[in-house]
Structure 1
Amino acid sequence: MGHFIETFDQTTLFVEDIGEGTPVIFLHGWPVNHRMFDHQMAVLPEKGYRFIGVDLRGFGKSDKPSSGYTYDALADDLRAVIDELQLDDAVLAGFSMGGAIAIRYMARHEGKGIRKLALLGAAAPVFTERDDFQFGIPKDNVNGLIEGSYEDRAKMLEDFGELFFGHEPSEAYNRWFHSLAMDASPHATIACARTLRDADLRDDLSAIEVPTAILHGKNDEICPFDLAEVMESGIEAAEIVPFNDSGHSLFYDEREKFTEELIRFFEK
């Protein structure tokens, strides 16, 4: 079942809503859409969970406006979804940029409607290195993604995919995943890359009071594993689940473990 939900600024978001039971809200990473959770969309409803996949503004089937790509605005969009669906006991699961948005939501909206949080290869609390933060990736790397988006977005995404996957996907899967990224608005792709580059969520971590699972690939070249350790130290009730054989794409590299660990966390 698909919902179209209007946000605070009349942007319409597409939300996939499948199954019954405990609701699990999935926030995708940059620059794809909720369909990246294809396996979880198939499996979780069979296990008694309600899969709720949100296409962030600018991505997938959601509207693609010219503004609203800060973490504050994206967190406010999530609040609109939670309010419209009347969720009060959900699990929030955010991957990469989606993990950063989930953290901002928990701080900005005091975790309304959320009982547990799963951070999946999260691009947080700070995605890029700076004078007082030695982790993350160099800002110039993100600047290169932005420049590539202007020059040849398809090629930039193809090159980005070489860092993304810890295990080389099949040619068919690679084509499909690339198509998810190409469905995004070019403007949203660039604007969200700037947010990833510049945002700082360190002060948000202490506001998270719900049980939190941090699933993170040990070989992640996009969001280095050090970020998971920083998040764990800043969130009171956090637990790291390392994925020793995964890069950034832990949902693909260790697919069965990824789903099993999520379900274990849901039921804990």
Structure 2
Amino acid sequence: MENNFTSGNQSAKPEYIQTEPNVYLRIRDYGEGQPVILIHGWPLSNEMWEYQIEHLVKNNFRVITYDRRGFGKSAQPWDSYDYDALTDDLKAVIDQLELTDVVLVGFSMGGGEVVRYFSRHGGTNVSKAVLISSVTPFLLKTEDNPEGIPQEKNDEMAKQIREDRIGFLDGFGKDFFGVGLLNKPLSTPLLEYYRNLASCASPRATLECAKAFSTTDFREEMVTVKVPTLIIHGDTDKTVPIDISSHKAAKLIPDARYVVYEGSPHGLFYTDKEKLNKDLVDFINS
């Protein structure tokens, strides 16, 4: 897969990156300039960044996105969906594209890969980081994390996915974007589009990655993020509540700038796209 190239003006850029003998990642690589890697959230694919890619390219950045293993058009192995494996995939992207001075942007589950890249790979070739609606530092309720989400709730979500994955995704998407009786921040066709993106994921990967982001404890790893970091979170996020995530992350990362989007849901990459795009460009250029 390493020699599979796209056509046209992207002919010099690979369409797939092979990270293991039987694992390849679908990759998109646009523009020129400082590289910005956009890591998508669960259970979507790289297409979620549609409204960020064009803006960043127009602002003279090289924008790289990829489908996480098990999602989108990437390979769907049966196992290896913990954060070590996922972060090794990220390192393979950086190494094989020979990237330096990278800005890592992780949304939701993708925030875990950003943090793990620093603790596992020393943050090599990364100069800035952005965490958007991120699951870090630790979501699970334990004796020393009493505000977290009970395991019983995670078990119920897994049960719903096993019984009717598409039905689960339909309801999940409404909470994801803050859709209610009086609040409709996106059209019904667009909401269905995001549901369809999520439906393309491997059922196994959907479950295994949910286990990873809901139970992985990044608390001791947060201090390893020793680059300027922007943290963005909506204060009405029902998917990853802000109090148990970014409120804590902002205190644990040494050089963090914390921005709260008032009234914004989890999926602010769409609902607040203009504000988010401006904040990304301003931060990268700062």
TM-score (norm 2): 0.91
User: Shift of residue 20 of structure 1?
Assistant: 0.8
Q: Which structure 1 segments of 5+ residues have no match?
A: none
User: Per-residue CA shift, 1:141-173, capped at 9, x if unaligned?
Assistant: 222221111111000001111211135320111
RMSD (Å), alpha carbons: 1.2
**Partner in structure 2 of residue 249 of structure 1:** 267
DSSP 3-state at the match of 1:117: strand
**Partner in structure 1 of residue 232 of structure 2:** 215
**Partner in structure 1 of residue 215 of structure 2:** 198
User: Shift of residue 9 of structure 1?
Assistant: 4.8
Instruction: Please say if 1:183 is aligned against 2:200.
Output: yes
- The count of aligned residue pairs is 268
Instruction: Please say if 1:128 is aligned against 2:140.
Output: yes
Q: Distance in 2 between matches of 1:117 and 1:72?
A: 18
Give the number of the structure whose alpha-carbon radius of gyration is greater: 2
Counterpart of 1:75, as a letter, is T
User: Shift of residue 3 of structure 1?
Assistant: 2.3
Counterpart of 1:222, as a letter, is T
**Partner in structure 2 of residue 115 of structure 1:** 127
Q: Distance in 1 between matches of 2:250 and 2:49?
A: 24
Q: How does 1:62-211 map to 2 (within 5 A)?
A: 62-167=74-179, 168=184, 169-211=186-228
Structure 1 ranges of 4+ moved more than 6 A: none
Q: Distance in 2 between matches of 1:9 and 1:26?
A: 24
Q: Which structure 2 segments of 5+ residues have no match?
A: 1-9
User: Per-residue CA shift, 1:115-161, capped at 9, x if unaligned?
Assistant: 00000000111122222113343322222221111111000001111
User: Per-residue CA shift, 1:214-236, capped at 9, x if unaligned?
Assistant: 01111111111121121111110
Is contact 1:135–1:224 with CA below 8 Å preserved after alignment?
A: no
Q: Distance in 2 between matches of 1:214 and 1:35?
A: 22
- Which deviates further from its counterpart, 136-145 or 225-234? 136-145
Counterpart of 1:173, as a letter, is L
Q: Distance in 1 between matches of 2:171 and 2:149?
A: 16
Q: Distance in 1 between matches of 2:149 and 2:168?
A: 17
DSSP 3-state at the match of 2:37: strand
**Partner in structure 2 of residue 30 of structure 1:** 42
Is contact 1:245–1:254 with CA below 8 Å preserved after alignment?
A: no
- Which deviates further from its counterpart, 85-94 or 194-203? 194-203
Instruction: Give the % identical residues.
Output: 39
Is contact 1:34–1:53 with CA below 8 Å preserved after alignment?
A: yes
Counterpart of 2:65, as a letter, is G
Which residue of 9, 12, 17 maps to 2:24? 12
